[in-house]
Amino acid sequence: MDETQNAQTATASQGQPYQASAAPIGQLNKNRSLIKFILLGIITLGIYTIVFYSGISSDINIIASRYDGRKTMHYCLLLFLIGPITLGIAYLVWFHRISGRIGNELKRRNIAYSFGASDFWLWGLLGSLIVVGPFIYIHKLATASNKIAEHYNING
């Protein structure tokens, strides 16, 4: 008998049914914000921006990979290797894909928040023409990430 059967047998012999917990073992970060991104980015000379995007890429892999079967490239690999080799094109692809993946996960979890790949193209890229667009994109990305992490921390 393996450990699961032993646990089921032990609890069944005590008269209590075995029930696996749906809640996650660890808690994901749900405290991302635009203000924190800007201030800590300035104080740490850009290191926090790497931590910010790395955390989001790791979190979406933890949350969504078992449902969509995909894996997002870690941001450090993109930043230090793939991005420079592709002359920046990989950054556009990466942000498009992670935004779409987060949007799909919001829909799958029935979280009422609008976010997706179109937000990257409209706010992150075209919005740079009005200067504040990328900041709006980062705010929407952080908010969507926080909502998914909060839902995951409670429901798994």
Q: Where are the domains of the chain?
A: 31-155
Q: What is the pTM of this model?
A: 0.83
- 6 pLDDT more than 50: no
Question: pLDDT tens digits for 35-72?
Answer: 999 999 999 999 999 999 999 999 999 999 999 999 99
Residue type, 41: G
Q: What pLDDT, on the 0 to 100 scale, is given for residue 15?
A: 53
Rounded to the nearest 10 degrees, what angle do helices 133-155 and 47-68 cross at? 50
Beta-carbon contacts of 65 under 8 Å, excluding residues fewer than 6 positions away, are: 71
Q: Average of pLDDT values for 88-102?
A: 97
Q: How far apart are CA 70 and CA 119, in angstroms?
A: 21
The residue-averaged pLDDT of 95-105 equals 97
Whats the size of the chain, residue-wise? 156
Q: What percent of the chain has pLDDT over 70?
A: 84
Instruction: Provide the token pair at 53.
Output: 């995007």
